[in-house]
C-alpha cells in the first residue's frame, strides 16, 4: 500500500513539473524581432511597430514553421537587453548600441545601412555664409542644432571627436545650447534665417531639403564634412541553428530594396538598402571614441 501511495505522489509531482515547463517551451517557439528606435527615422513607437510588422509577416509567409511572432520596439540599450532576455531571432540596432551590447548578447552582424552606394551617412556642420564662419573654433558660445531623434547619438559622437581633435572644450561648455530635432526643416531653417549659428545634419537630408529650396544651398556653408558612418546594423542570433530560417533572413534583408514593403521599411531606417557587414565599417565608427 505504501509503495502504491509513493508511486502516486511521484506521478503527481512529475505531472506538475512537466506542466510548469510547458509554458516555457511554448514561449521558446516565439520568434522575436527587436528593432531600436535609435536606428529609425521616427519617434513614434506605433509607426515603427506597424512598419516592422510588415517585414515579420513576409518572413512568416516564406517560413511556414514560424507561427508565433513578437515585434519589440526599444528606446535604448537597457530596454533592448531587457526585452531580449527570452531570446531573439533578428535585431536591428544603432552602431552605438551594437558596440554596447555585443559582449552581452549573441549578436552576429550581417548587414549595415547604405546610401548612394556607400555605408551609412556623411554628417555636415553647416553655418550661414553671411556670418563669415569658416571653422568650428568660431562657434564658441553659439547655439547648435542637431538633426536626430535624441541626444548622445552618432552626430554628438562626431562632434565630441572633432572638439577633441581641435583641442577645444567639451561641447557642454563650448556651445551655449545644443538642441536635437528629428525634423530636418526645424534644424536647417533656423540657420538659414540666422536664429541659430550652426547645425549638424546628414549630407543626404541636406541635399533633399536643398532640392525643395535651392536657396539653402546658396546661403549655407559646410565647414566640416565627416567620413561615412554606419547608421544601422542588422544582426542575427549567433545561436540560431535552423539553416533554412537563417537563409530566409539573409535573403529578405539583402533584397529589401527590391520590394515595395522593403522600401517602406528602409525609409523607416533612412537608408536606401542594406549591404553585407564588414568589420572595417565598425572600425571607422570606433575611431569616434579615440
Residue pointed to by grid coordinates 569616434: 288
Write down the mean pLDDT value for the chain. 85
Percent of the chain with pLDDT over 90: 54
Contact 32, 84 (CB under 8 A): yes
pLDDT per position as a tens digit, 8-52: 333 444 444 433 333 333 345 788 999 998 887 666 778 778 878
pLDDT at residue 266 in the model: 83
Task: Give the separation between CA 272 and CA 244, rounded to whole angstroms.
Answer: 26
pLDDT at residue 260 in the model: 83
Of the candidate CATH numbers 1.20.59.10, 3.30.70.380, 3.40.190.10, 3.40.50.620, the domain formed by 122-225 belongs to 3.40.190.10
Q: What is the CATH number of domain 30-115+230-289?
A: 3.40.190.180
Closest CA to 230 of 102, 113, 116, 151: 113
Domain assignments of the chain as residue spans, ordered by start: 30-115+230-289, 122-225
DSSP secondary structure, 104-133, as one string: TS-EEEEEEEEETTEESB-EEEEEEGGGT-
Whether 30-115+230-289 and 122-225 share one fold: the answer is yes
Count of other CB atoms within 10 angstroms of residue 196: 20
Cα 215 to the chain's mean position, in Å?
Answer: 32
Give yes or no for residue 256 having a pLDDT over 70.
Answer: yes
Q: At 74, list the grid cell.
A: 526599444
Count of other CB atoms within 10 angstroms of residue 9: 10
Q: At 86, list the grid cell.
A: 527570452
Task: Give the separation between CA 16 and CA 40, rounded to whole angstroms.
Answer: 45
Rounded alpha-carbon distances, angstroms, from residue 226 to 67, 123, 158, 222, 223? 44, 5, 8, 11, 10
pLDDT per position as a tens digit, 108-167: 999 998 887 888 889 999 999 999 999 999 999 999 999 987 765 889 999 999 999 999
Amino acid at each position: 500500500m505504501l509503495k502504491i501511495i509513493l508511486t502516486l505522489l511521484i506521478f503527481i509531482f512529475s505531472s506538475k513539473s512537466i506542466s510548469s515547463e510547458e509554458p516555457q517551451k511554448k514561449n521558446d517557439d516565439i520568434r522575436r524581432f527587436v528593432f531600436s528606435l535609435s536606428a529609425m527615422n521616427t519617434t513614434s513607437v506605433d509607426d515603427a511597430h506597424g512598419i516592422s510588422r510588415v517585414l515579420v509577416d513576409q518572413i512568416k509567409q516564406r517560413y511556414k514553421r514560424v507561427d508565433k511572432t513578437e515585434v519589440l520596439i526599444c528606446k535604448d540599450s537597457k530596454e533592448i537587453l531587457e526585452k531580449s532576455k527570452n531570446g531573439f531571432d533578428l535585431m536591428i540596432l544603432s552602431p552605438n548600441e551594437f558596440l554596447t551590447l555585443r559582449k552581452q548578447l549573441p549578436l552576429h552582424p550581417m548587414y549595415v545601412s547604405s546610401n548612394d552606394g556607400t555605408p551609412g551617412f556623411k554628417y555636415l556642420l553647416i553655418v550661414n555664409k553671411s556670418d563669415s564662419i569658416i571653422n568650428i573654433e568660431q562657434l564658441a558660445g553659439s547655439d547648435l542644432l542637431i538633426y536626430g531623434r535624441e541626444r548622445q547619438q552618432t552626430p554628438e559622437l562626431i562632434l565630441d571627436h572633432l572638439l577633441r581633435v581641435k583641442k577645444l572644450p567639451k561641447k557642454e561648455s563650448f556651445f551655449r545650447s545644443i538642441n536635437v530635432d528629428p525634423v530636418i526643416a526645424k534644424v536647417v531653417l533656423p540657420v538659414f534665417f540666422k536664429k541659430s549659428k550652426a547645425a549638424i545634419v546628414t549630407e543626404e537630408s541636406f541635399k533633399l531639403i536643398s532640392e525643395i529650396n535651392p536657396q539653402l544651398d546658396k546661403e549655407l556653408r559646410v565647414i566640416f564634412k565627416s567620413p561615412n558612418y554606419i547608421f544601422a546594423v542588422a544582426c542575427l542570433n549567433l545561436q540560431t541553428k535552423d539553416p533554412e530560417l537563417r537563409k530566409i533572413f539573409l535573403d529578405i534583408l539583402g533584397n529589401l530594396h527590391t520590394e515595395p514593403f522593403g522600401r517602406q521599411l528602409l525609409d523607416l531606417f533612412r537608408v536606401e538598402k542594406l549591404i553585407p557587414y564588414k568589420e572595417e565599417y565598425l572600425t571607422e565608427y570606433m575611431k569616434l571614441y579615440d
